[in-house]
Structure 1
């Protein structure tokens, strides 16, 4: 075989080998793409039940959209091929990011789903609390046993959901007080918890349901202090029932839009004025809005669904302005009160009054 032909054949075979290797080679990246959006003022597509249901309080008709947005993410165990990752980088509707940016090293699919479910439940609770505070509707709190350490001093004595009324006769009004009271003891001494068992706890617990539970403290593994092996938590008590019924959605980023949906349903004024508003953002109990991941994919999802305005957490504005779909107006949001004020401007058609995202 002539040398030139042999060289071309070898080069061709090498190229084929490299192409095959690139198809088979897995790379440590995760792919994000636009996910479904849900109108918090509307109903779920699959079941036809309202996304937000309020009972025990007068509600008002709403129009328009306040859509929460989502991102579809490949699973913790999935790794794309090199070719797939390159194609994703070249596309405008796929975001390819390092795997560990989304899933902490070693996290399984099951662990990721559990974390997302917990974050979603927490965001629901904060959305309810922030919405009622925005409307000056009283929200009370109670301190509960959030979890019990397996094999710890409290196992079998205290249970998740028990309401902590007092420790050693001192009324408990914050999580920090529980540890403060316990640490007044030396390891091996007894701390007496006054609790209302989970099955009987509620907005107005009956003092007759309170029980005294003595716990022999143990020494903390890391230092010489007393512990009882529980994690205290805060449970909010609302004057009426608010149910958020979305399925197969996780993470904390829907908090802002849930809160707005609740405020709209409890407000005589139709906040959107029939406009299509979408958005994202975490929310805390006081209404502060925080940043989220995958903002560009959420912008695409919102615009594809028909949104005209997108409520954007202030800390996501710089990234969001780099790829805003045509026809979508970004509205910078710092807190729930600001979002409600922005809806007033949208409803009245005063675009100039909207806080703009800047690079």
Structure 2
């Protein structure tokens, strides 16, 4: 014979509701709701009393019901091509920290290819995310059409060079590379090469390369000494690109590296060769990764504000979602040249 189980007799515990919390705290259910939605608008003593009651009862907020009522999920998606780049990690952390303050959550996808990016965006849209943060401004036509047709608030990062799908936050990759190369020229370097990752067609690297080339053109110096390696090579890429650059220009006296990883790998190779840095060769990096200040000599590099970019992207998206006063659709977070001892 089948028997129905009585939850009260079996020891099953009923899930606490908002009404239970309100009763224990001695407030209205709407006050409990406000404590989670707009805590800064609730009196601190009331907020503390409600949160204490919720903790005692093991209450957790039912976001689904609220999402159905508001039509919003309070979730933002972010897509990055890799987690090997510490600057992308910084951007993700900035997004997470600011979104948490703004009562939103983050959903992450790693998308090394255009197809993976498109698939992830489709999944995000199916999950009813409120907005999306993309890396770079280089996307497939299908991705651009999908986001525009879905009318999904979008922030593209790491570049100020559009056209943008919706909003953008970044800094001038061109200016950062131009200024660093010009700094090397002012220091007396005349045969400078550029080391980067393949594919060389990636817009973020192309902008750096253009800045590098134009600074050399202005000084009437050779600007076509380039070498590339796969990102998967890591520090070994420094050795690989240095060897390639020397084949192109045997009198090479300086290198501007597209990332600090390549710059550090190049310094390691110079140590193996017994070359002084600077002295035999000067090396500049890009990114201000943790290794930049730990390696000897300390790298002269470009500090790229990944964390600040994430904070700005979060504010732009949530501001759009809550109908805040219109803000610039493109935000420049700037960059800094960090002086080291590598050239």
Task: Identify, as 1 or 2, the structure richer in strand.
Answer: 1
Same fold (TM over 0.5): no
TM-score by length of 2: 0.26
Q: TM-score, normalised by structure 1?
A: 0.25
Structure of greater relative contact order (alpha carbons < 8 Å, 6+ residues apart): 1
